[in-house]
A and B are shown apart, each in its own frame.
Chain A
Amino acid sequence: MSAHAALAGVSRVYPGGDGRAPLHALGPIDLALRPGEFFAVVGPSGCGKSTLLEVLAGLAPASEGTVTFEGSPVAGAVPEGVGVVFQEDASFPWANVYDNVAFGLQGSGLDRSEIDARVRSALAFMGLRDFASAYPAQLSGGMRQRVCIARTLVLKPRLILLDEPFGALDAQTRLLMGDEVLRLWRETGATVLLITHALDEAAMLADRVGVMSARPGRFIDVVETGWPRERDSRLAERPDFGALVARLWSSLRVESIKALGHT
């Protein structure tokens, strides 16, 4: 089966200047996402996880290597069919929830009734139906992140990239949002790449977990979790869940210590 999206020999070096040395942030790295899989990336802080996502999304160029999405090279722009949810709150404060979610559809050539239908269904899916006319400033951080997910969802992405989307939320909200992401992944059939620093989150959500080294980030371990497609946060109760998290941590521990020394 050919990869849905792939990185081949990709590295990213931030050019120096103003007396700073160039920074080798990532790679070289190889990654082939299987169609419809849920892939999580964990790694020590500053290892280039977010850079990996930006390169894959076409938001940042690869210094070396090739990036492909559905067989076509990705360069200079985000391809159609790719959705990204960021860690920071990216909701538009000047628009209400409905208009935030409809943002990517307005001016897309779709007729109003189709836009309305898609927005309503995304709002219902993310539990935002009663908040359509609220402004982001009136919502909690978790709700705003739901708005951003719904805004991505209406565009029917085939590849969804999540850059620590729950990093700013409290632990309980994170677990529940994890369940929602699983539901979203199952019902849309999209391929999902999740960047996270939380090992339990990666272990619970993903089909495969890639463990990255300290900067410049490379994959040092890729673990198949073997979970059924129908799953939720109750996985955490299983005995083999603890073993999986322990396995990830044993791969990551040395790298995290290195990363601490770097900074």
Chain B
Amino acid sequence: MNPAIARHLDFLLVGIGLLAIWQGLFLWIGETGISSPLQTIRHLGALAERQMFWTHAWATLDAFLRSLLIAAVGGIVIGLWLGIGKVAGQVAEPILVALYSLPKVTLYPVILLIFGLGLSAKVAFGAIHGIIPVILFTMSAVRTIRPVLIKTAKVMRLSPAKTAWRVLMPAALPEIVTGLRIGFSLTLLGVLIGEMFASQAGLGFMVINAIGLNDTETMMAVTVLMIVLAGIANVLLLALDHRLHRRAG
């Protein structure tokens, strides 16, 4: 069989399998716990007709894009800087690794006190989730660039800024995209957790609110929507990631 078709078939089988497990769980647990796939899709359609849903969705998207921008730009710049500066990188790396493995929820009270309830706290919380993998991947990519490429930049008489932009950045790009892919998921996670615990807007708030009201259908519909969107984004980023790594050979 054509490998491309086989791969698509695998995807389809995994999808069908997940739906079957979901339906099975629904039959076993019953309506008080979860809603069935069909109910969930129907409810999602009903939600989409309500203005309130779009307000929340927009609030999440707004906060997410801002966090992602901070995580991506900040992470790349800091990662390049730490990758070039050997001492700074050696000092920062263990700290960053520790921060990476720290459950960042423990920092949320501090962030709330600094930023207050609302958009800025969500953005900050999303950004601190996403920025660390971007920094770590960028930093290690810059460190492992073959020295001969940097020597070539010197022979071409490039300034440090041009060397960073024209040699270090593209050489590190495949790894940076890997970092961004992980950063993307974590930023979304951070924003949603932020909305769940201290916010009056956003899809995270909708989910936690629905749990409070025992509105299983809304909780499931929003959760499934987020899973699907994050899944699609991740598949696209993964494809880009593979492509860049293949080209770098």
Partners in one complex: yes
Contacts of B170 in A (CB 8 A): 92, 94-95
Q: Select from chain A the residue with minimum beta-carbon distance to B248.
A: A93
Least CB distance, A52 to chain B, in whole angstroms: 15
Known: A93-B248, A95-B170. A103 touches B156 (CB 8 A): yes
| Complex interface: stretch among B75-83, B147-155, B196-204, B234-242 | B147-155
State whether the Cβ of B162 lies closer than 8 Å to any Cβ in chain A.
yes
> Cα distance A136–B151 when bound, in Å?
18
Decide: B247 and A94 in contact? CB cutoff 8 A: yes
Decide: A135 and B155 in contact? CB cutoff 8 A: no
Decide: A93 and B247 in contact? CB cutoff 8 A: yes
| Complex interface: stretch among A80-88, A209-217, A232-240 | A80-88
Contacts of A86 in B (CB 8 A): 148, 151-152
Least CB distance, B166 to chain A, in whole angstroms: 8
Decide: B247 and A135 in contact? CB cutoff 8 A: yes
State whether the Cβ of B146 lies closer than 8 Å to any Cβ in chain A.
yes
Decide: A59 and B248 in contact? CB cutoff 8 A: no
Q: Of the candidates A80, A82, A94, A107, which one forms a contact with B173 in the assembled complex, judged by CB atoms under 8 Å apart?
A: A94
Decide: B248 and A94 in contact? CB cutoff 8 A: yes
Q: Select from chain B the residue with minimum beta-carbon distance to A77.
A: B157
> Cα distance A59–B155 when bound, in Å?
8
Decide: B157 and A78 in contact? CB cutoff 8 A: yes
Decide: A92 and B149 in contact? CB cutoff 8 A: yes
What per-residue 1/0 map shows which CB atoms of B227-249 lie under 8 Å from chain A? 00000000000000000101111
Chain A stretch 113-150: residues in CB contact (< 8 A) with chain B: 135-138
What per-residue 1/0 map shows which CB atoms of A155-180 lie under 8 Å from chain B? 10000000000000000000000000
Q: Of the candidates B155, B173, B244, which one forms a contact with A57 in the assembled complex, judged by CB atoms under 8 Å apart?
A: B155
> Cα distance A95–B171 when bound, in Å?
10
Least CB distance, A159 to chain B, in whole angstroms: 12
Contacts of A88 in B (CB 8 A): 146, 148
> Cα distance A82–B157 when bound, in Å?
10
Contacts of A78 in B (CB 8 A): 154-155, 157
Known: A78-B157, A80-B157. A90 touches B151 (CB 8 A): yes
How many B residues have CB within 8 A of the partner chain?
Answer: 20
Decide: A107 and B249 in contact? CB cutoff 8 A: no
Chain A stretch 60-118: residues in CB contact (< 8 A) with chain B: 77-78, 80, 82-84, 86, 88-90, 92-95, 103-104, 107
> Cα distance A124–B58 when bound, in Å?
55
Decide: A59 and B247 in contact? CB cutoff 8 A: no
Q: Of the candidates A90, A93, A94, which one forms a contact with B152 in the assembled complex, judged by CB atoms under 8 Å apart?
A: A90
Contacts of B156 in A (CB 8 A): 103-104, 155
Of residues A57, A83, A92, A138, which shows the largest number of chain B Cβ atoms within 10 Å of its Cβ?
A: A92
State whether the Cβ of B57 lies closer than 8 Å to any Cβ in chain A.
no
Decide: B249 and A83 in contact? CB cutoff 8 A: no
State whether the Cβ of B167 lies closer than 8 Å to any Cβ in chain A.
yes
Contacts of A136 in B (CB 8 A): 249
Contacts of B246 in A (CB 8 A): 137
Least CB distance, B167 to chain A, in whole angstroms: 7
> Cα distance A94–B174 when bound, in Å?
9
Decide: B154 and A137 in contact? CB cutoff 8 A: no
Decide: B171 and A94 in contact? CB cutoff 8 A: yes
> Cα distance A137–B151 when bound, in Å?
20
Of residues A59, A80, A90, which shows the largest number of chain B Cβ atoms within 10 Å of its Cβ?
A: A90
Contacts of B152 in A (CB 8 A): 84, 86, 90
Known: A88-B146, A92-B167, A94-B170. A137 touches B247 (CB 8 A): yes
Q: Select from chain B the residue with minimum beta-carbon distance to A93.
A: B248
Of residues B156, B167, B246, B248, which shows the largest number of chain A Cβ atoms within 10 Å of its Cβ?
A: B156
Contacts of A83 in B (CB 8 A): 155
Q: List 11 A-B contacts (CB under 8 A).
A: A59-B154, A59-B155, A77-B157, A80-B157, A83-B155, A86-B152, A89-B148, A90-B151, A92-B149, A103-B156, A152-B155
Query: With A104-B156, A155-B156 given, can you name 15 additional A-B contacts, CB distance below 8 Å?
Result: A57-B155, A59-B151, A78-B155, A78-B157, A86-B148, A88-B148, A90-B149, A92-B167, A92-B171, A93-B248, A94-B170, A94-B244, A94-B247, A135-B247, A136-B249
Interface residues of B (CB under 8 A from A): 146, 148-149, 151-152, 154-157, 162, 166-167, 170-171, 173, 244, 246-249
